[in-house]
Chains A and B, each alone.
Chain A
Amino acid sequence: MINVHIDGQRCKGCYLCIAVCPRKSLGVAAVLNKKGVKPVEFKKGAECIGCRFCATMCPDCCIEIEKE
């Protein structure tokens, strides 16, 4: 089981992580964050293979990944 933690308040909405996710598991949230952008969220029920592409790409270091 792999958990992806995204700091939605720090996300600036560049969506570079969405573009690199090989499983298309990341999407745009419906609600704005404090910065006024729709942050990235991990899609419900989506799978993560732990490739770390999203965290490698994120310019704002918003993503942490944990493995059980």
Chain B
Amino acid sequence: MEKIYAHPQSLYNVSSHYCAGCGHGIAHRLVAEAVDELGIREKVIAIAPVGCAVLAYDYWNFDCTEAAHGRALAVATAIKRVRPDNVVFTYQGDGDLAAIGTNETIHTANRGENLTVIFINNAVYGMTGGQMAPTSLIGQKTATTLKGRDPALQGYPLKISELLAQLPGVKYVERVALISPAEINKARQAVLLALRNQIEGVGFSLVEMLSPCPTYWGMSAQAAMGWIKETMIKEFPLGRIK
């Protein structure tokens, strides 16, 4: 018997705490598969965020650490400078990377640190109960925007990837969506390229993943995939930004 699809070695064979249909599970697997494919399991160091993925180190079978809320890229900078031979990446949600950590994100990108960032954009604060995130869409109902996000009160969805792409220190930015086998395969290629860039010394690479949060979007897993396809992609177009 030949396994044509096997559990990645870099992912523990355990049940995660994520809700049914949560995109974090898919993203974790893509990262684990990329680490396996590049053969860097003994060299990689991940920095987990604060947010739903705070326990990522319980699922990845490689070295991980945890940073204070939003500070993952500051910690990553230190680790990479002290241990330049290791492959260092951060895994951050929109609340971590684009809200409380915007400062660290922009300055790390502007310094052109040779790091990889996996950015999960699900347009909501998952861990704390579905509050509005900077990336929430106009009109999106959340726990803190009961009538929908109103630009006059809460501003506009923050396109942090486009913003970072303008910085000369940033070498690679791509937005993908975890909505179908075809799109997930594109996401896998993007993660591989972002990690390869670091190994080859290219510089700061970021992959933004549009990821479903069925629980706080108040819909089924299947409907959440449809919502990304029909609504979210219009605000956050897919493809290579830089």
CB-contacts of A5-57 with B (<8 A) = 9-10, 12-16, 19-20, 35, 37, 50-53, 55-57
Residues of A within 8 A of B29 (CB): 59, 61
Residues of B within 8 A of A63 (CB): 5
Residues of A within 8 A of B26 (CB): 57-59
CB distance from A2 to the nearest CB of B (A): 7
Q: Which one of A9, A12, A14, A67 contacts B1 once the chains associate, using CB atoms below 8 Å?
A: A67
Residues of B within 8 A of A13 (CB): 20
Which bucket holds chain A's interface residue count? 20 to 34
Residues of B within 8 A of A14 (CB): 20-21, 214, 221-222
Q: Tell me whether A60 and B4 are in contact (CB under 8 A).
A: no
Known: A56-B185, A59-B25. A66 touches B20 (CB 8 A): no
Residues of B within 8 A of A10 (CB): 15
Q: Tell me whether B22 and A59 are in contact (CB under 8 A).
A: yes
In whole angstroms, what is the CA distance A3 to B11 when docked? Answer: 22
Residues of A within 8 A of B194 (CB): none
Residues of A within 8 A of B2 (CB): 66-68
Q: Tell me whether B1 and A20 are in contact (CB under 8 A).
A: no
**Interface size of B in residues (CB-CB distance below 8 Å):** 30
Q: Tell me whether A65 and B3 are in contact (CB under 8 A).
A: yes
Q: Which one of A2, A9, A53 contacts B181 once the chains associate, using CB atoms below 8 Å?
A: A53
Known: A12-B20, A61-B25. A68 touches B181 (CB 8 A): no
Closest to A34 in B: B15
Residues of B within 8 A of A37 (CB): 20
Q: Tell me whether A57 and B15 are in contact (CB under 8 A).
A: no
Interface string of B166-199 (1 = CB under 8 A from A): 0000000000000011001100000000000000
Q: Tell me whether A52 and B4 are in contact (CB under 8 A).
A: yes
In whole angstroms, what is the CA distance A50 to B5 when docked? Answer: 9
In whole angstroms, what is the CA distance A53 to B21 when docked? Answer: 15
Closest to A57 in B: B181
Closest to A60 in B: B25
Known: A15-B221, A50-B4. A59 touches B23 (CB 8 A): yes
Closest to B24 in A: A59
B16 at the interface (CB under 8 A from A): yes
Residues of A within 8 A of B181 (CB): 20, 51-53, 56-57
CB distance from B86 to the nearest CB of A (A): 25
Residues of B within 8 A of A52 (CB): 4-5, 181
CB distance from A30 to the nearest CB of B (A): 19
Known: A59-B22, A60-B16. A15 touches B222 (CB 8 A): yes
Given contacts A57-B180, A59-B26, A66-B2, 20 further A-B pairs with CB under 8 A are: A2-B4, A15-B221, A16-B21, A19-B222, A20-B180, A37-B20, A53-B181, A55-B5, A57-B181, A58-B26, A59-B18, A59-B22, A59-B23, A59-B29, A60-B15, A61-B29, A65-B5, A67-B2, A68-B1, A68-B2
